[in-house]
Amino acid sequence: MNPDILYRERLASPEEIAARIRDGYVCACPSCIGQPTAIPEAIAKRAERGEIHGVIHHSIFAVPPAPFVNPAISENYSYVSWFTQASARKAVQSGQCDYMPCNYSEEVAVWDQRGPIDVFYAIVTPMDKHGYFSFGLVASECCDLAARAKYVFLEVNPNMPRVLGSNIIHISEVTAVCEYTSPILTVPIPAVGEKDRTIGGLIAEEIPSGATIQFGIGGVPGAVAEFLMDKKDLGIHTELFTEGMVDLIEAGAVTNRKKRLDNGKSVAAFALGSQRMYDFLDDNPAIDMRPVNYVNNPYIIGQFDNFISVNACLEVDLIGQVCSESIGSLHFSGTGGQLDFVRGANISNGGKSFIAMNSTAKNDSISKIKPILTPGAAVSTGKNDVDYIVTEYGIAHLRGKTAGERAKALIGIAHPKFRDQLLYEARQMHLMV
Ligand code: COA
């Protein structure tokens, strides 16, 4: 069938698509900026009018204004967060919205456990002459979830860059399409503070030319990139494509020529950043957007030599258990791909994973290195997986160290004002004499 004819047959308004939602439908969308705009808004309007009940939206990241995160309609249209960021944080913390514990590499596998998806909806680029839409800045779970869903609704937005990779869907696989032009969310380049810069410099010293890198969310990864401009033949294999990676590619530090897999290409599962980044990614043949169950698979990551992973955390206890997603029992974020990349780097020949944090929080009133994790804290990276912990006071290499050796190394990179107390607690816990 001619794709243009199929397109015309399946073209609908957002309201017509929303009218196809039934009570209790399970809806899923791509991670982050693949979240459609007009379709959820039209569904929320139906929820406000009481026309639908018990519809649930699932996603890795709620892009504002996220109409499903609204207590006034939560009986009718609610949200399950798979990686909580600012727009849904208060709703999850108050119990209005639920969250899904998972490793990002296993998102699709978790859906296999959870059960069917009624609707997959997403932003896509305009259709090409062959009948394909691109999910653009996100590959992650798009093709897998679209294939599992009973109905696929697409929102064609000409502002979505056409990024190359395994992120396409054919009009024949789509239930209905609407057209809606809206700005694609951009986020400011993360501010790099003085402590971040110190930490970035420490980590950069550990990254050899020829390494393959992954950077996570936050100021530290951006700071690391600043110190890598003179390296040679770096490779990129990352869940999140970051602003600093554009700088490294433009500076010639990244060639991807030493990568055992995907040689010559920078691989990512999704991107989030500035318009400059989106323009850089658009139609760039050296970029390959790939599904997250490939990118974050520890056994894929482990095939690269010298794989370097850099992520952030909220607190660490004296045996090296890392919490990156809650402050005590207060939910804050998600595991995302942290453990995936830590495990992958552990498999990699010459691989290293760095988990970084400032040594203190709240104007130096709290040490983020603690004798035990704050009660209720979620362990994101376990003691058997953790490799390097970094603060502005140095690097503690934990893998291969005993509990007592770990406590000593971690106390050595704690803020000096907390070291005596930590030493006392370590002795009380019989980690040392
Ligand atoms: N106790 C109390 N408060 C703490 C704290 C602690 N141990 N650690 C941090 N905080 C507070 C900070 O003071 C800050 O508060 P503010 O917003 O009022 O200033 C807030 O919590 C955020 O901390 P910060 O260190 O600035 O967070 P960040 O923006 O650098 O993000 C993570 C750090 C861990 C939340 C983020 O990296 C994340 O979401 N990680 C998830 C797992 C991951 O790494 N996935 C892989 C990459 S996607």
DSSP string, 297-350: -HHHHTTSTTEEEEEE-SEEETT--EE-SEETTEE----TTHHHHHHHHHHSTT
pLDDT of res. 381: 98
CA distances in angstroms from 388 to 80, 156, 193, 321, listed in the order given: 32, 43, 21, 12
Summary mean pLDDT of the chain: 97
Give the pLDDT band (50/70/90) at residue 1.
confident
> DSSP character for 261?
S
At residue 393's C-alpha, the angle toward residues 223 and 193, to 5°, is 30
CA distances from 164 to 85, 168, 270, 280, 379 (A): 27, 9, 11, 12, 35
Average pLDDT of 144-156? 98
Residue 289 near residue 268, CB atoms below 8 Å: yes
What tokens were used for 249?
């590619």
Mean pLDDT of 88-107: 97
Q: For residue 414, report the phi and psi dihedrals to the nearest 5 degrees.
A: -75, 165
For residue 46, name the pLDDT band (cuts at 50, 70, 90).
very high
Give the tens place of pLDDT for each residue, 289-346: 999 999 999 999 999 999 999 999 999 999 999 999 999 999 999 999 999 999 999 9
For position 382, what pLDDT does the model report? 98
Residue-level pLDDT at 216: 92
Which residue's CA is the closest to the ligand 1 atom numbered 30?
A: 218
Instruction: List the residue whose alpha carbon is closest to atom 39 of ligand 1.
Output: 333
Residue type, 121: Y
Residue nearest to atom 31 of ligand 1 (CA): 218
3-state secondary structure of 113: helix
Atom of ligand 1 nearest to the CA of 324: 34
pLDDT value for 191: 82
State in Å: Cα 25 to ligand 1 middle.
Answer: 33
Check if 48 is active-site: no
Q: Atom 29, ligand 1: which residue's CA is nearest?
A: 218
Residue 219: its pLDDT value, please?
81
Tell which one of 189, 217, 357, 379 to mutate to probe ligand 1, the residue whose CB is within 8 A of the most ligand atoms. 217
Residue nearest to atom 47 of ligand 1 (CA): 216
- The pTM assigned to this predicted structure is 0.97
Of all atoms in ligand 1, which is nearest to the CA of residue 355? 44
Beta bridge partners of 361: 366
The pLDDT value given to residue 220 = 87
Confidence (pLDDT) at 302:
98
| Spacing, Cα 239 to ligand 1 middle (Å) | 18
CA distance 370 to 411: 9
| pLDDT reported for residue 395 | 98
Residues with a CB atom less than 6 Å from ligand 1:
216-219, 239-240, 311-315, 324-325, 327, 332-338, 361-362, 366, 368, 380
Going from the Cα of 367 to the center of ligand 1, the distance in angstroms, rounded, reads 13
What are the pLDDT digits (tens) for 208-249?
A: 999 999 999 878 888 999 999 999 999 999 999 999 999 999
From ligand 1's centre to the CA of 48, what distance in Å? 34
Answer yes or no: is pLDDT of 190 > 90.
Answer: no
Preceding amide of 285 cis, omega within 30: no
Side-chain-side CA neighbours of 37 within 13 Å: the count stands at 15
Nearest Cα neighbor of 387 from 401, 376, 367, 377 is 401
User: Quick one: which atom of ligand 1 is closest to the CA of 217?
Assistant: 37
27 CA to middle of ligand 1, Å? 29
Among 141, 155, 239, 315, the active-site one is: 239
CA 385 to centroid of ligand 1, rounded, Å? 20
